[in-house]
Amino acid sequence: MVLPFQLLAQSETEKHLEYLSSDQLTGRETGTEGINLAATYIEKVFEKNKVQPFYETYRDSFEVKKKFGYNIVGFVEGTDNNLKDEIILIGAHYDHIGIQKPVAGDSIANGANDNASGTVTVMELAAHFAKNPTKRSLVFALFAGEEMGLLGSKHLAKRMKKEDQNLYTVFNIEMVGVPMKDRSYAAYLTGFKMSNFAEKFNTYAGNETLGFLPQAKDYQLFSRSDNFPFYQEFKIPAQTVCTFDFTNYEYYHHVNDETTELDIPHMQNLIETFIPGIEGMANASKKEIKLK
């Protein structure tokens, strides 16, 4: 039966969300002990699910304001000898903005939607694909320093470019903790018209998973998330999916951005919706997603 698996997965999703957005992590600001606790937690989940480190360890370190930030980078090797050198990167930032001006006595910006929701989605996808590897290799990257100016993704993009990694595309996940309203699609894609990403992904998924949101273009969201450094370095389809549409969640960068405000069943449905789209990208016989 499918139902027990879904219940287990949903409980895992909720458990990860509750920890990563707990007061104990003090808002996960890069360079603090709070984000270090988050990094350690993600590493343990990767290790438990047999997601391998992409480098010598899971931590890809960089310096920020005389402190260190850590991207957490996992790897699932592809199964096809002719395609496994091609990499699809699935990412999200796991940092947030830390301690803020108190509201009703609460000063911790927990960052449940921004972006524990994206982080947990990547963790769950990594766990799935570690058990169900694809022909192409998958890198699962959780970025620090996003809130400071995309510092973690800039570092990793430059590093991978210097290493001449064969990066095919980037699927970045940002603020997916609440559903969109009155839309025919599940999430919107930034830089929608720059590539055929949404068209091909929807074909692989067998439904209208990704769509166009005018506000994403108006607010230039394509260049404001961790997809952008990879586009700059590699000139490949590197785009972000999101369900926060400026009308469906009022706690952006607010101390009330808590797990209790999120829709866990929606998140689990979205994760399950993403899986066939990613499988299609990773198993296609040739690179079908291209810039226009």
Domain spans in the chain, listed from the N-terminal domain onward: 3-283
What pLDDT is attached to residue 10?
Answer: 62
CA distance 238 to 229: 9
DSSP string of 140-195?
Answer: EEEES-GGGTSHHHHHHHHHHHHTT-EEEEEEEE---SS--SS-SSSEEETTGGGB
Taking the model in full, what pTM does it have? 0.96
Percent of the chain with pLDDT over 70: 97
pLDDT surpasses 60 at 119? yes
pLDDT band (50, 70, 90) for residue 9: low
The CATH number, out of the four listed (3.40.630.10, 1.10.10.10, 3.40.50.12500, 2.60.40.10), of the domain defined by the range 3-283: 3.40.630.10
What pLDDT is attached to residue 207?
Answer: 95
What pLDDT is attached to residue 156?
Answer: 98
What pLDDT is attached to residue 11?
Answer: 79
Give the number of other CB atoms < 10 A from CB of residue 256. Answer: 14
Picking from 280, 201, 278, 194, the residue whose alpha carbon sits closest to that of residue 237 is 194
The region of weakest confidence among 30-34, 99-103, 146-150 is 99-103
Which residues are CB-neighbours of 63 under 8 A, at least 6 positions away? Answer: 69
The predicted model gives 253-258 an average pLDDT of 96
Residue 31: DSSP 8-state = T
